[in-house]
Structure 1
C-alpha cells in the first residue's frame, strides 16, 4: 500500500476517491499530457496493491477506495497518508 501511494500521481488519484467512487474517466492526473497507457498502469498498481476496487459499470470502470479493508488491516494509516502534505 505504501509503495502504491508513494507516487504523486497515484496519491492524487486516491485523494480524488476519498469523497466516494468515480468512473475511471473522471479521475484526472495533474499532467493532462500523460499517455493513456501510463494512466492505466497507475490504476493497475493501485488495484493490485489493494488500495482501490475496480468494478464494471456498463462500459466504464468504477473506482472506489477499499477504505474498510485498509482500515481493518492498518488502522489510521490511510487517513495519515492521504492527509499528509506533499
Structure 2
C-alpha cells in the first residue's frame, strides 16, 4: 500500500463503472465474487475494471477454489488516504439519489 499513489487511486475512481463496483463492495457485508456484481458492461470490460482497481490498491482479489473474490481495501485506503474512499462513496450515493429524484429518471 505504501507504493500506491493518490493519482492512481483517483484515476481508478474517476470511471463511473469502477465507482459502482466499489460502491457495491462497500455495501456488501462480505467479499464478492466477480459474477455477483451488477454491471452493464461485458465480462471482458468488467475484468479490465477489476484490474485497474486492483493495481490502484482499491481492491484485493483472491481465489476461493476456482472463484475469484473481491475485497475492498477500505482500512488500508483509510490509513493511506484518510477520508478519500468515504467521501467518494458518499458522493456516489448523493449522485444516485439525485438521479433517481430527477424527472428525467421517470
TM-score, normalization by structure 1:
0.90
Name 1:58's counterpart in structure 2: 65
Give the number of the structure whose alpha-carbon radius of gyration is greater: 2
Which residue does the alignment assign to 1:3? Answer: 11
Counterpart residue number, 2:74: 67
SS at match of 2:10: coil
2:84 aligned with 1:80, yes or no?
no
Paired position in structure 1 for 2:5: none
Q: Which residue of 1 aligns with 2:56?
A: 49
Unaligned runs of 5+ in 1: none
1:24 to 31, 34, 59: 34
CA–CA separation in structure 2 for the residues paired with 1:62 and 1:53: 8
CA RMSD of superposed structures (Å): 1.0
Structure 2 alignment gaps of length 5 or more: 1-8, 96-106
| Deviation digits for residues 28-68 of structure 1 (CA, Å, limit 9, x no counterpart) | 21x2xx22211110110000000000000111111010011
Shift, 1:2, TM fit: 1.1
Structure 1 segments of 4+ aligned residues over 6 angstroms from their partners: none
Q: How many residues align?
A: 83
Pick 1 or 2: higher relative contact order, CA cutoff 8 A, min separation 6. Answer: 1
- Return the TM-score normalized by structure 2: 0.74
